[in-house]
Structure 1
Amino acid sequence: MTAQNDPATPAAAQDRIFLGGGGEGYGVAQELLLKYGNRHGLIAGATGTGKTVTLQVLAEGFAAAGVPVFLSDIKGDLSGICQPGDPAAKTHAAFAARAETIGIDLAYRAYPVLFWDLFGQRGHPVRTTIAEMGPLLLSRLLELTEVQEGVMNVAFRLADDEKLALLDMKDLRALLTFIAENSAEISSTYGLVSSQSVGAIQRRLLMLENEGATQLFGEPALELADLMTVDPDGTGRISILVADRLINSTRLYATFLLWLLSELFEALPEVGDPDKPKLVFFFDEAHLLFNDAPKALISRIEQVARLIRSKGVGVYFITQNPADVPDTVLGQLGNRVQHALRTFTAKDQTDLARAARTYRANPRFPIEEAIREVGTGEAVTSLLEAKGVPGMAERTLVRPPFSRLGPAEESARVAAFAASPLAGKYDTEIDRESAFEILRARAGKAAAEASRSQEAVAEGAAGEEFSRGRRYGGENSSRRYEAPTRTTEPAPKKKSSSSRSDSVGEAFAKSFARQLGSKSGQAVVRGVLGTIFGKR
């Protein structure tokens, strides 16, 4: 079935998505105009009130209109989009009755789906590089202090200056080790860094690796164009991030999705106000994005939300309470679907009143009361109308989904994955030369040169000792041995620190040569080499 014939986009209204309507006691049919689909949105409500079904209905509507969709499946119950709804299912009778009340045909169908998985087990692997993640998001992911974040920024700047590609975890570890062992030279150029701060970052990296984040970083990295594809029949493909395991690491989940949004913002060209979005992005459990977020990160999110719509991307936040979203971001969300809010505490009552005030009043009913009383599958909605004006709040019966409600059958999931046009593209990880290999080669070269220098010094000393023996106590000498007069050698001149024009790599090599002069220095070098070569 093509988008033009899909019940979600009736022939008489192909420029909009039908969300729902109602019979007696409900308002007019609610339709989301595609040209305002990139003005972002909010789906909110308590657990069990129908948020996931609303997300599924909107995703179906956008896909049917030829708009690619990205969403995260944190409970595993959105994979059913790849299968048509089942007339034999227990929910069919209720769905059929609702469809009749609303006045639509219940035409079950499947939608083209791409499965993605950060762990590479139930979907295409999703990777990015350390460099693409950037110091701000990495610091957020690692929960670094301000001082430690400064060290992270120094590391990225050093990598740029030294042309050290940061692709995966071992690259970042090698660079941080390099910084710790050469902190004096690096501090003189980039600002003070301490081995204690580096050690704290390394420990945070270890914790992150234990959560499975190692697989997120590497190549081939995700190409954004693969999230914005359309099926041959004109239906937008729905990319589903398998997140039922990922959600256990809430900070990794939120940081990855924020990185993806930031990449879309940075990479996509300006398109102004298109007739329909280029991509719609659903951010489930959105409160995780804002929990304990520093001001710099909140500012970044606000900037992305405000400006990414001009790139043709619509962002829809799904959360339990609108209060979870900062006002600066909430003000950017023009399309609202508010399911029931529970009021068990005084704070709940305050949040309910606050949510009601964000809607355009309807003289037919009090909005606060409606938000409290709507049942499962019902919502108070406000969608942008002509000229982007917020629509009047309406009580709405959300239409039933046309795809399968709940998890897909395993055979259907396997078939969808096998039929993916991206089959094989991301399966094999690539490990090209990067910071780890470059620093290891430099360390090996520096150690070899220092070793040759030490051997030359030793050979010279041995030759001099032999010559002394010939002069003072040789086999054919009749002179009595006299110890040479001990003289005080002038103290060696103090060497100046490495020139700012020297590369940090040269400074590193020099430090190796200096350190090889003593047993303690040799122990230090063994420690450095052991770290850089991964032999702890």
Structure 2
Amino acid sequence: MDAENSIFLGASRNPDDTYQQAERLLLRYGNRHGLITGATGTGKTVTLQVLAESFADAGVPVFCADMKGDLSGIAAAGESKDFLHKRSEEVKLENYSFREAPVIFWDLFGEQGHPIRATVSEMGPLLLSRLMDLTEAQEGVLNIAFRIADEEGLLLLDLKDLQALLAYVADNASQFSTRYGNITKPSVGAIQRSLLVLEGQGGDKFFGEPALHISDLMRTTRDGRGYVNVLAADKLMMKPKLYGTFLLWLLSELFEELPEVGDPEKPRLVFFFDEAHLLFDEAPKALLERIEQVVRLIRSKGVGVYFVTQNPLDVPETVLAQLGNRVQHALRAYTPREQKAVKVAAETFRPNPAFSCYDAITTMGTGEALVSVLENKGIPSIVQRTLIRPPSSRIGPLTPQERQAIINTSPVTGVYDRMIDRHSAFEMLQQRAQESARAEERARQQEEEEGTSNRTGWTLPDFGGSSSRTTTKRSKSGGGGYQRQTVTETIVKSVVRTVGTTLGREIVRGILGSLKRGR
């Protein structure tokens, strides 16, 4: 294979226990995805480090999650040690030297790297429902809320925007239910409670602006090397749903934003997802279908996805079938489940008549792996028992001071470090409520003013009753308004109401009698 257009992984083992043949991953098949598996302590992290720095040297940006903190050493040059030089000699690695990879540190919580944020609208109702463990009915209400936000131009950027929207939907549930379907206040309340839990887990730091620009994950240095984007995930690992949802969101964003490029000479970006089982554990069918779709189609965008996990059974078969480049470290086979995992791993390789894959997986030492990569025409190579080459960068973590120095000189310093609170749904709905309150106050004042102006302004002499007052009556045909009485009606009713003597009654009867005769 052409050394300039490939990544040197290590040397395969001969029957006499020497390592001769170089095993290489062709860059043009780097976007065909891959799988790195093996038990704890067998060398998965070092293999990931070798691949990451090799892709970066080839000018390919890399994104990887650092679950334990030891991957951060890729940002520093390695230290000369006897076992590293011995390994380089065994695999016949020429001109072995030590140097660091260009690195940008990221952290969803903004503690050990630049913050990564996404807006609520970018995340969408499907991923949010998974993140909050919503029922089907609650997910339906959340979908309705997003639809209302779209139609009414309400920007959903952070959690307080979504909380304000849900309160608005609950207050107008009867109105929206006739258009979109049943909206119950208990469902809205359950979503609001889940949002409080999410906020307590750090969701208030993840959701907001400035949101991550995908282009900042695809940077290269002036000399053409790709940046290695390292996500601090030691705390994130304790929140598996947030971690898995974030990874899927990132893949979905790449899939939607990047143009089709087919099969380029080298990938545009490579992802390494450590602890990959966290992406699939307890995922509903709809979400698994989404993952499978993204993994299957994103390679045409020039993006390679490499899953790193202990057991091949952690990855669904539909996704496993998409992974062409495979590195299998040793597995234990003491229990029936472990034996099944070894059998599954062995059966996924193109067999080598020189040895048994099953036996090799259970007997390989640290730093050894079964390797099968895509060769010309995309055909998997015959599996080889391979000794993985040593990395050029440091094996082990950076000190906090070293990490901070790299963060301070990063090309994205100052871009994402401060959160921005734009005018969005929370402020819009708050403004609507204030305007509505002011309108109601104006209407109330107007009614009071109209009530005052409807008084007659004069009184008749008191005919023995209490103080006389001007009265009004409700008009049935006037839409519920008030109609002022005529002067004649006021006089007659006042006389009838206040005059109690026989003379008064006779005067009234005389007046009424004359009116009848006049008709």
Q: Which residue of 63, 69, 78 corresponds with 1:76? A: 69
Structure with larger Rg: 2
- Secondary structure of 1:80's aligned partner: helix
**Partner residue in 1 for 2:89:** 100
Q: Cα offset for 1:22?
A: 4.4
**Contact preservation (8 Å) 1:70, 1:227:** yes
Letter matched to residue 103 of structure 1:
K
**Contact preservation (8 Å) 1:28, 1:394:** no
**2:254 paired with 1:269:** no
- Secondary structure of 1:478's aligned partner: coil
Q: Which residue of 45, 54, 71 corresponds with 1:52? A: 45
Matched residues in 2 for 1:458 and 1:373: separation? 92
Within 5 A, what are the aligned runs for 1:215-364?
Answer: 215-364=205-354
Letter matched to residue 161 of structure 1:
E
- Secondary structure of 1:280's aligned partner: strand
Q: Cα offset for 1:490?
A: 7.0
Q: Cα offset for 1:53?
A: 0.5
> Unaligned regions of 5+ residues in structure 1, if any?
1-9, 495-536
TM-score (norm 1): 0.85
**Contact preservation (8 Å) 2:20, 2:91:** no
Q: Cα offset for 1:346?
A: 1.0
1:486/1:405 Cα in 2 relative to 1: closer, same or farther (>3 Å)? Answer: same
1:172/1:353 Cα in 2 relative to 1: closer, same or farther (>3 Å)? Answer: same
1:123/1:455 Cα in 2 relative to 1: closer, same or farther (>3 Å)? Answer: same
Q: After superposition, what is the alpha-carbon deviation per residue over 1:274-311, rounded to whole angstroms, capped at 9, x for unaligned?
A: 00000000111100010110111101100111100000
Matched residues in 2 for 1:458 and 1:340: separation? 85
Q: Cα offset for 1:344?
A: 2.3
TM-score (norm 2): 0.87
Matched residues in 2 for 1:301 and 1:35: separation? 23
Query: Quick check: 204-213 or 417-426, which moved more?
Result: 417-426
Q: Cα offset for 1:381?
A: 1.1
**Partner residue in 2 for 1:500:** none
**Contact preservation (8 Å) 1:27, 1:395:** no
Q: Which residue of 462, 465, 476 corresponds with 1:477? A: 462
- Secondary structure of 2:70's aligned partner: coil
Matched residues in 1 for 2:370 and 2:413: separation? 41
**Partner residue in 2 for 1:428:** 418
Letter matched to residue 321 of structure 1:
N
Matched residues in 2 for 1:432 and 1:43: separation? 42
**Partner residue in 1 for 2:173:** 183
1:101/1:491 Cα in 2 relative to 1: closer, same or farther (>3 Å)? Answer: farther
1:493/1:130 Cα in 2 relative to 1: closer, same or farther (>3 Å)? Answer: farther
Q: Which residue of 186, 200, 224 corresponds with 1:196? A: 186
**Contact preservation (8 Å) 1:285, 1:318:** yes
1:100/1:27 Cα in 2 relative to 1: closer, same or farther (>3 Å)? Answer: closer
Matched residues in 2 for 1:454 and 1:241: separation? 58
> Unaligned regions of 5+ residues in structure 2, if any?
481-519
Within 5 A, what are the aligned runs for 1:6-17?
Answer: 13-17=3-7
Matched residues in 1 for 2:327 and 2:7: separation? 14
Query: Quick check: 78-87 or 32-41, which moved more?
Result: 78-87
**Partner residue in 2 for 1:35:** 28
**Contact preservation (8 Å) 1:129, 1:219:** yes
**2:56 paired with 1:63:** yes
**Partner residue in 1 for 2:516:** none
Letter matched to residue 99 of structure 2:
R
**Contact preservation (8 Å) 2:12, 2:23:** no
**Contact preservation (8 Å) 1:82, 1:412:** no
